[in-house]
């Protein structure tokens, strides 16, 4: 009888230890898994955001707006013909700087990882050339 009682005591001690230790191990395992997979889950969430319809529409609209602004600036710049007086030259340089800034923003946004090749329309260029010669002489 002593052996059966000692076996029963051993099994109950083992059961109590498992009840305490097993949940602790599972909690730590879950935390470690969440920590290890965080970069992957973040990339998946980013992919989901960029393929969502509202984001794609906003991206299209932003790039089309920039194209329209560039066209408007180009039309204004064509109006300046040499010789320019001081006021016209200042206006022309301001427009030229605004155009260069807009081209830089367009190119930077089109190179971003979340926009590259995922939504770019056929009629939108992926990169705009930065003009080198100023018409403001």
Please write the tens of the pLDDT for every residue from 16-58. Answer: 777 777 788 777 776 667 667 667 666 667 666 656 667 777 7
Q: Residue 115 in contact with residue 109, Cβ under 8 Å?
A: yes
Is residue 19 domain-shared with residue 44, that is, in the same domain?
yes
Q: Residues, the chain, total? A: 137
Shared domain for 66 and 78, answered yes or no, is: yes
Q: How confident is the model at residue 104 (pLDDT cuts 50, 70, 90)?
A: very high
The reply to whether 15 and 76 lie within a common domain is no
For residues 109 and 119, membership in a common domain is answered with: yes
Domain check: are 47 and 102 in the same one?
Answer: no
Measured distance CA(24)–CA(18) in Å, rounded:
10
How distant, in Å, are the alpha carbons of 37, 42, 75 from that of 84?
A: 62, 54, 17
40 and 9 co-located in one domain: yes
Confirm whether pTM is higher than 0.85: no
Percent of the chain scoring above 90 in pLDDT: 24
pLDDT score for 80: 86
Number of domains in the chain: 2
Which structural domain, as residue segments, surrounds residue 46? 1-51
Average pLDDT of the chain?
78
């Amino acid at each position: 009888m002593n052996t059966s009682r000692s076996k029963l005591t051993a099994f109950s001690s083992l059961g109590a230890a498992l009840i305490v230790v097993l949940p602790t191990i599972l909690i730590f395992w879950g935390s470690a898994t969440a920590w290890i997979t965080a970069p992957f889950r973040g990339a998946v969430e980013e992919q989901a955001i960029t393929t969502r319809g509202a984001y794609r529409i906003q991206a299209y609209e932003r790039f089309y707006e920039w194209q329209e602004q560039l066209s408007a600036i180009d039309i204004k710049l064509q109006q300046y013909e040499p010789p320019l007086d001081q006021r016209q030259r200042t206006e022309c340089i301001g427009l030229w700087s605004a155009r260069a800034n807009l081209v830089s923003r367009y190119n930077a946004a089109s190179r971003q990882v979340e926009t590259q090749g995922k939504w770019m329309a056929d009629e939108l260029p992926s990169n705009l050339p930065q003009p080198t010669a100023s018409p403001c002489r």
